[in-house]
Amino acid sequence: MALSKKPTTGMKDILPEEMQIRDYVISVIKDTYGKFGFTSIETPCVENIANLSSKQGGDNEKLIFKILKRGEKLNVAAATTEEEVVDSGLRYDLTVPLVRYYSNNAASLPSPFKALQMGNVWRADRPQRGRYRQFMQCDIDILGEPSNLAEIELILATTTTLGRLGFKNFQIRINERRILKAMATYSGFPEESYDSVFITLDKMDKIGLEGVEAELLENGFDKACVDKYLELFKGLESAEDGVAYLADTLEGFLEPEIAQSLREIMDSVRATKASDFEIVFDATLVRGMSYYTGTIFEIAMPEFGGSCGGGGRYDKMVGKFTGNDVPACGFSIGFERIIMLLMEKGFQVPTRPKQVAYLIEKGVSGERLCEVIAQAQEARKDGTQVLVARMNKNKKFQKEQLNKEGYEEFVEFYKEELKR
């Protein structure tokens, strides 16, 4: 079998120019979230297959990179089911590992617990622009806070971070899973069909109201239910305040405090935001994960033409591990998409240290080489970034390559000083 110099499909090598931007963005994220009281944690990239297949990860559970048992435990010849050969898998998100982590360590953690987790995840997905099979995720979560203070803090921390990275005029779209369910109940859909209805609703931005109507009817839903459901969305289009409109229309199906809490979140974020963005109620926002129980939100970036992150409340997930529910809410930035947009904009990392390259001709004596390295060590003390490298035959090309990495000043050392 021939060796391949290309990375595996859906994964990529990261060149120094991009790595500088990634490191800078990570530093901004950690600094900003740190100011909001979030604490960095880390979980293993491999999880027990039962945790990953617990029907809480939505469609992502179909995309797991599964890991075979090792050594004597692996007996492929005798196996009749997948369970006999697979015992673990690569994590497809950071939420499932976080909940396991919290369930295992809750006694040692503060309450509420504000976690920041950054790390690679893996999904056997179809690669496309801004979508890879291995990619970095960046999550903040608050566990143990039942009130909407959690949502407000998560949205403010995330939007402050995006503002610091130069993003503006984006939207935070927000909705409530309990509003989605109340709309479906009011319209007469049976409870067991809610997920099917929501999957169709989630396509509203692509297929429009008429497309949603056609698909619901095609799926066999009663026309009276579909008509009543679509009337709600037509009413929303003309309503000045969508939340108030639904609170009135869904009276008896929606508890008043749910709409009130959603309005509080939006009003608080608008009054205290530190970045240039809009927060808008969107009754068509669904979010794919089945573990969401309350508020859900998403970042809509005009430059990308799609979502660049999202999250929501998942109050029932810890209870799956411990038997006791713990209120929980999280927000994930689409790290790879943010990096892609910055790269496409020609983003330059600000306040980089001065970068100097010392180029040494081959044949310089060992004594002289030590002097050059000592000189570099001295220059580094004031924060200067000094690269010490052998001088290539094609010095012009070498300098051009170093220029791309940010080196603008060059000091050359020759065997014979006259060459300088």
* Rounded to 5°, angle at Cα 89 from 83 and 90: 170
134 is in an annotated binding site: no
141 is in an annotated binding site: yes
How far apart (Å, rounded) are the C-alpha atoms in residues 32 and 117?
A: 14
| Residue where the block lists tokens 């411990």 | 322
How far apart (Å, rounded) are the C-alpha atoms in residues 99 and 87?
A: 19
Beta bridge partners of 40: 116
* Cβ-based neighbours of 410, under 8 Å, separated by 6 or more: 356, 357, 358, 359, 399, 402
81 is in an annotated binding site: no
Cα distance between the two ends of the chain: 51
287 is in an annotated binding site: yes
404: helix, strand or coil: helix
322 is in an annotated binding site: no
Q: Kindly list the strands in the beta sheet with 66-68, ordered across the sheet, starting from the edge strand earlier in the chain.
A: 46-48, 86-90, 66-68
39 is in an annotated binding site: no
292 is in an annotated binding site: yes
The DSSP output letter for 142 is E
Q: What is the residue-wise DSSP string for 244-313?
A: HHHHHHTBTTB-HHHHHHHHHHHHHHHHH--SSEEEEE-TT---S-TT--SEEEEEEETTTTEEEEEEEE
The amino acid at residue 257 is E
* Ramachandran class of 330: left when φ > 0, alpha when ψ lies in -120 to 50, beta otherwise: beta
How far apart (Å, rounded) are the C-alpha atoms in residues 329 and 153?
A: 10
59 is in an annotated binding site: no
93 is in an annotated binding site: yes
Residues placed in the known binding site: 93-95, 123, 137, 141, 287, 291-292
Residues placed in the known binding site for L-histidine: 93-95, 123, 137, 141, 287, 291-292
